[in-house]
């Protein structure tokens, strides 16, 4: 197995800045944005010092596939995918709100419900719901997009009240989000999966056009259940078999870690291998394509740099 790409520090022609996010390194090059998907992994808003081999390639290639599959719903930022780990596209002013659509009561929403809350970002929930239960209709549960620290739940009303968007922008964004979730649900179902929940991010171009940015329907931004045994497992009160990052959060919780400190517990090699395999499995299951690993001992950073420079020369 190739070693994980923990970070990058390229100096591309025309580059003016670089921002190292939780998972992606974001390069500003002239009027373009280059996203390089690393193999870093985060949970509870904390990044592990250990990486997951091939994770960045999986994220970048699923996102590219899904952005292509949804561009008839909403325009997106992508202009080219010069490398398996890198995408080049339009620079936009990103709205400081993550738009989360939930189809099932799971994850942080379930943990909040278990603790007694019946208000989920302005959505009133009835008593008596169970973990992994499907909502009658998908719910919109936005969060603030924090530069540092934890994102915070927010209502749609407060998104506008806090001037994170205008009322008109928020109306368009929510319409896009529900349509994207419906398309993602449809595409997942064709491959035996259930899109459980997901987050979307949007930005605004200089002329005011709203576009979809960042990643779409990846295991970092979404949860997926296997459709074939969902109902049986739910009726029997069993945990769902899923393809997402949630099982990593579950592992951390079993270690007694909830993000209170900036350092994860060490992940054993066999667990890292399992996480990598799950990411690859989701790629193949969701896209219907075989995942092609880099050549053994390939210098992936050098490959990314070479491919991006070639793409920039064509602009």
pLDDT digits (tens, 9 = 90+) for 24-48: 999 999 999 999 999 999 998 899 9
| 307 has a pLDDT exceeding 90 | yes
Same domain, 41 and 57: yes
Same domain, 203 and 308: no
Same domain, 217 and 268: no
| CA–CA distance, 278 with 259 (Å, rounded to integer) | 23
Same domain, 118 and 215: yes
Residue 297 binned pLDDT confidence (cut-offs 50, 70, 90):
confident
| 243 has a pLDDT exceeding 90 | no
Same domain, 100 and 176: yes
| 1 has a pLDDT exceeding 60 | no
281 assigned to some structural domain:
yes
Domains in the chain, number? 2
Last residue of a domain, one of 214, 244, 274: 244
10 assigned to some structural domain:
no
- Give the chain's mean pLDDT: 94
Same domain, 153 and 176: yes
pLDDT tens per residue across span 67-109: 999 999 999 999 999 999 999 999 999 999 999 999 999 988 9
Same domain, 76 and 183: no
Residue 180 binned pLDDT confidence (cut-offs 50, 70, 90):
very high
| 4 has a pLDDT exceeding 90 | yes
272 assigned to some structural domain:
yes
Residue 303 binned pLDDT confidence (cut-offs 50, 70, 90):
very high
**Which CATH number fits the domain that encloses residue 49?**
3.30.200.20
Same domain, 148 and 240: yes
| Amino acid 195: pLDDT | 97
Q: Percentage of the chain surpassing pLDDT 70?
A: 98
Same domain, 78 and 109: no
254 assigned to some structural domain:
no
Q: Are strands 210-213 and 193-204 parallel, antiparallel or unpaired?
A: antiparallel
161 neighbors 154 (Cβ within 8 angstroms): no
| Amino acid 80: pLDDT | 97
38 assigned to some structural domain:
yes
Mean pLDDT confidence for 237-244:
88
113 assigned to some structural domain:
yes
| 11 has a pLDDT exceeding 70 | yes
pLDDT tens per residue across span 99-154: 999 999 998 899 999 999 999 999 999 999 999 999 999 999 999 986 655 678 99
| CA–CA distance, 221 with 59 (Å, rounded to integer) | 9
Last residue of a domain, one of 244, 268, 284: 244
pLDDT tens per residue across span 278-288: 999 999 998 99
Same domain, 73 and 160: no
**Which CATH number fits the domain that encloses residue 133?**
3.30.470.20
Lowest mean pLDDT among 84-98, 150-164, 169-183, 199-213: 150-164
Same domain, 87 and 109: no
Same domain, 58 and 116: no
252 assigned to some structural domain:
no
Alpha-carbon distance values, 260 to 127, 251, 255 (Å): 30, 15, 13
Structural domain span for residue 159: 95-244
């Amino acid at each position: 197995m190739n070693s994980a790409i923990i970070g990058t520090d390229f100096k591309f022609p025309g580059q003016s800045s670089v921002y190292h996010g939780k998972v992606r390194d974001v390069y500003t090059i002239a009027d373009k944005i280059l996203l390089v998907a690393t193999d870093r992994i985060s949970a509870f808003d904390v990044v592990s010092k250990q990486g997951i081999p091939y994770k960045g390639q999986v994220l970048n290639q699923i996102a590219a596939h899904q952005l292509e599959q949804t561009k008839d719903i909403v325009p997106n930022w992508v202009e080219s995918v010069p490398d398996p780990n890198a995408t080049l596209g339009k620079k936009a002013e990103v709205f400081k709100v993550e738009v989360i659509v939930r189809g099932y009561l799971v994850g942080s929403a379930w943990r909040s419900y278990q603790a007694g809350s019946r208000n989920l970002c302005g959505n009133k929930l009835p008593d008596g719901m169970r973990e992994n239960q499907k909502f009658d209709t998908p719910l919109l549960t936005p969060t603030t997009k924090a530069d540092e620290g934890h994102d915070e739940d927010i209502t749609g009303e407060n998104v506008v009240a806090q001037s994170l968007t205008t009322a008109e922008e928020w109306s368009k964004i929510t319409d896009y989000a529900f349509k994207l979730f419906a398309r993602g649900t449809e595409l997942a179902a064709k491959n035996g999966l259930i899109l459980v929940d997901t987050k979307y991010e949007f930005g605004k171009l200089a002329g005011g056009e709203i576009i979809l940015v960042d990643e779409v329907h990846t295991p970092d931004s979404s949860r997926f259940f296997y459709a074939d045994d969902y109902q049986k497992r739910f009726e029997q009160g069993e945990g769902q078999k899923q393809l997402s990052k949630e099982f990593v959060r579950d592992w951390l919780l079993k270690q007694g870690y909830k993000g209170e400190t900036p350092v994860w517990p060490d992940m054993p090699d066999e667990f890292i291998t399992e996480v990598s395999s799950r990411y690859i499995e989701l790629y193949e299951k969701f896209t219907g394509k075989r995942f092609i690993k880099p050549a053994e001992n390939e210098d992936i950073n050098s490959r990314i740099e070479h491919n991006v420079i070639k793409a920039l020369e064509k602009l």
